[in-house]
Each structure stands twice: as structure tokens, then as C-alpha cells.
């Protein structure tokens, strides 16, 4: 099996997790990992909202699948737009890691204890919106790069650029940078991106052999929850350019969805916290997103 991946240390680590899962179930399977450079990897300076949002980390991978240069590709699910291109499908979603965001800080406090006017690095408009809601006195500052680079700019800098940064817990923990975490941020305040901390493997719909192999590492429970989050994203009709958050979990036999949507200028932030019957959760999540979009547009 030829597997495509981005070239960052985190992406390769995550791809090796997929390879390990596959080979544990299919010991005779040989996996060949191919590094594919994406626009988001090549341009580490331009804000994501300018160079194209979520698609900047996946388009080249998807083109390689369609061109049959690779059989499948491994993605961080939060990087994927809500609509998968025609002819492709998500054949496996792996069990989820810690979905929270974390604070990396030069100071000995959590987010609530940062000094007024502190500069907080992030490339995510979702995080910028929630930061503005929780601590409007803080200054969001664009911060790109891999996990190690972003952490280093905070902890090894002179403090003139960044006092702190907000990153996904899953990436920090997978890169074994636990010691740099100042605070795990509460999901009710910093609601994650749809699909955050889950890995997805994409392949061609007509590649039945690859689909069958990937089905053996698919986690139904994680998929049922992230599909609700992605339904909300689909209802919003936006990707990384829209400040949108969604996190679903099991609660008393139902599926609880906590979600956030902000307008483009981040002057209005709307939140929902609803619990649905599992069989209607995706439809209701999408409908709620439509309602939030209408209320913000007004």
C-alpha cells in the first residue's frame, strides 16, 4: 500500500501510527510512505485565511490519490473541508486523541492569568474568536510553523513577539512536548475545531482493495461523533476561513454538541450546547448551523 503524507514530523508520526495499525492487522502488508509537499507546508508565513484555509494542507495529497501515485493519504481530520471531492472518500477514521487546545506560555499562569495586553500566537481564526470572547484584552498574533517551531518561538524568544501560544493538545502530546503545556483549555471555552485530534485516511471510492484494508482500522464510535461535528461545519458552509468550532460527545444515550460560530470580522460570536438523539444528530447539527449563519448575517 502506497500512503501519502505531508512531510512535517507530526504528519509522518501520525502516518506511522496508521501504518502500525494496518500492519498489526495485516502482518504481510507492505506499506510505502510517500512524502508530498503541500502549499501550506511550503508557505509558512502567509496567514492560512489568505492562502486558502483548510485546503492548503490536503489538495496535493488528494491530487496524488486521484492520479494513482498513492493509494491513500493520511490527514489530520480538522484539516479536511466538510465536502470530500467526487471520487474520493474517507475510508478510515481512527480513534481520537485528546481533542482540547493547550496553552504554551512564557509565564507561570494559565490563560486567565496572562498579563493584560499579552501577545498570544495562533494561526487559527477559531482560536482568535474564542480568545477575544474569553480575554478581549489579549492580542492575537499570527503564528505559523510546525509544533516544535511554534513552541520554540514562545519559550525561547525574548518575549517581544509572543507571550504565549495556543496549539492542539494532540499534536503537542504526540510530539512528546508535554512539559511545555501551561494549561489544558476547557472545551466549553475553547471548543475544538471539527474533527480535531482524529486521523482520517482518504482513498478512491473505486479502490475496493484499499477500502477493505482501511476498514479494519476504522473506529465507528469516533466516526459517529466527528461526523456530527462535520455536519455542523457543512451547515456553516465554511472551512478554516470561518471562525467555527464543534465538539460532539456521548451524553446519557444522546450526542451532545457544543459549537461556536463567529462572523467574519469576529464582532459577533454565537454558541450552542445541545443534545440530540444519535440517529438525528447529523441532520440537527447541520440545521443548527444554518440557523446560526442566518442570525449572524442579520
Which residues of the chain does CATH 3.40.190.10 include? 2-94+198-218, 101-184
Cell 460560530, residue?
261
| pLDDT digit string, tens, across residues 117-147 | 999 999 899 999 999 999 999 999 999 888 9
Three-state SS at 298: coil
Q: Which fold has domain 101-184?
A: D-Maltodextrin-Binding Protein; domain 2 (3.40.190)
Q: With bands split at pLDDT 50, 70 and 90, how would you rate the model's confidence at 100?
A: very high
Please tell me which residue in 41, 43, 79, 98 is annotated as part of the active site. 79
Residue whose C-alpha cell reads 474517507 in the numeric block: 90
Average pLDDT across the chain, whole number: 92
* 79 given a catalytic annotation: yes
**pLDDT one-digit tens code per residue, 280-290:** 999 999 999 99
Across the range 67-90, mean pLDDT stands at: 95
Contact 131, 138 (CB under 8 A): yes
**For the residues 93-98, what does the mean pLDDT come to?**
97
Is the Cβ–Cβ distance between 120 and 138 less than 8 Å?
yes
CATH of domain 232-297: 3.30.160.40
> Measured between alpha carbons, how far is 160 from 37 in angstroms, rounded to an integer?
32
* Angstrom distance (rounded) from CA 173 to CA 95: 15
pLDDT for res 48: 55
Q: Which of 68-77, 104-113, 197-206, 254-263 has the lowest mean pLDDT?
A: 104-113
Q: How many CA atoms lie within 13 A of 125 on its CB side?
A: 22
Class of domain 2-94+198-218: alpha beta
Every domain range in the chain assigned CATH 3.30.160.40: 232-297
The cell numbers describing 20, all together, are 502500525
CB–CB of 258/189 below 8 Å? no
Q: How far is CA 156 from CA 153, 160, 177, 180, in A?
A: 6, 11, 14, 11
DSSP strand pairing (269-276 vs 254-262)? antiparallel
pLDDT digits 0-9 by tens, 36-69? 987 666 555 555 555 455 566 788 999 999 999 9
- Residue 62 has a pLDDT of 95
Count of other CB atoms within 10 angstroms of residue 149: 12
Tell me which long-range contacts 292-296 makes (C-beta under 8 A, separation of at least 24).
292/236, 292/259, 292/261, 293/235, 293/236, 293/237, 293/261, 295/270, 296/261, 296/262, 296/263, 296/268, 296/270
Lowest mean pLDDT among 29-33, 146-150, 230-234: 146-150
Least reliable range by pLDDT among 113-127, 192-206, 233-247 = 233-247
The enclosing H or E element of 227 equals helix 220-236
Q: How far apart are CA 262 and CA 259, in angstroms?
A: 10
Average pLDDT value for residue range 79-99: 95
Mean pLDDT over 168-193 rounds to: 96
Distance of CA 246 to the CA centre of its chain: 10
Amino acid at each position: 500500500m502506497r500512503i501519502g503524507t505531508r512531510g512535517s514530523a507530526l504528519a509522518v508520526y501520525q502516518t506511522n501510527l496508521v501504518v502500525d495499525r494496518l500492519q498489526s492487522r495485516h502482518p504481510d502488508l507492505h506499506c510505502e510512505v510517500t512524502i508530498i509537499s503541500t502549499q501550506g507546508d511550503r508557505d509558512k508565513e502567509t496567514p492560512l485565511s489568505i492562502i486558502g484555509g483548510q485546503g492548503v494542507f490536503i489538495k496535493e495529497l488528494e491530487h496524488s490519490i486521484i492520479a494513482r501515485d498513492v493509494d491513500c493519504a493520511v490527514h489530520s481530520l480538522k484539516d479536511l473541508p466538510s465536502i470530500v471531492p467526487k471520487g474520493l472518500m474517507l475510508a478510515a477514521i481512527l480513534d481520537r486523541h485528546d481533542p482540547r487546545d493547550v496553552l504554551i506560555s512564557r509565564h507561570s499562569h494559565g490563560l486567565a492569568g496572562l498579563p493584560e495586553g499579552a501577545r498570544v500566537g495562533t494561526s487559527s481564526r477559531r482560536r482568535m474568536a474564542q480568545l477575544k470572547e474569553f480575554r478581549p484584552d489579549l492580542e492575537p498574533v499570527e503564528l505559523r510553523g510546525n509544533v516544535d517551531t511554534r513552541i520554540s518561538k514562545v519559550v525561547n524568544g525574548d518575549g517581544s513577539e509572543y507571550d504565549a501560544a495556543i496549539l492542539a493538545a494532540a499534536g503537542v502530546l504526540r510530539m512528546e512536548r508535554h512539559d511545555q503545556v501551561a494549561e489544558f483549555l476547557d472545551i466549553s471555552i475553547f471548543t475544538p475545531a471539527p474533527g480535531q485530534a482524529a486521523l482520517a485516511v482518504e482513498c478512491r471510492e473505486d479502490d475496493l482493495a484499499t477500502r477493505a484494508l482501511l476498514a479494519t482500522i476504522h473506529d465507528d464510535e469516533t466516526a459517529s461523533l466527528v461526523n456530527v461535528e462535520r455536519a455542523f461545519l457543512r451547515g456553516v458552509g465554511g472551512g478554516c476561513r470561518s471562525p467555527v468550532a464543534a465538539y460532539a460527545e456521548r451524553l446519557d444515550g444522546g450526542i451532545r454538541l457544543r459549537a461556536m460560530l463567529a462572523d467574519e470580522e469576529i464582532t459577533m460570536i454565537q454558541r450552542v450546547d445541545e443534545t440530540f438523539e444519535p440517529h438525528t444528530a447529523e441532520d440537527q447539527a447541520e440545521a443548527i448551523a444554518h440557523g446560526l449563519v442566518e442570525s449572524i448575517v442579520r
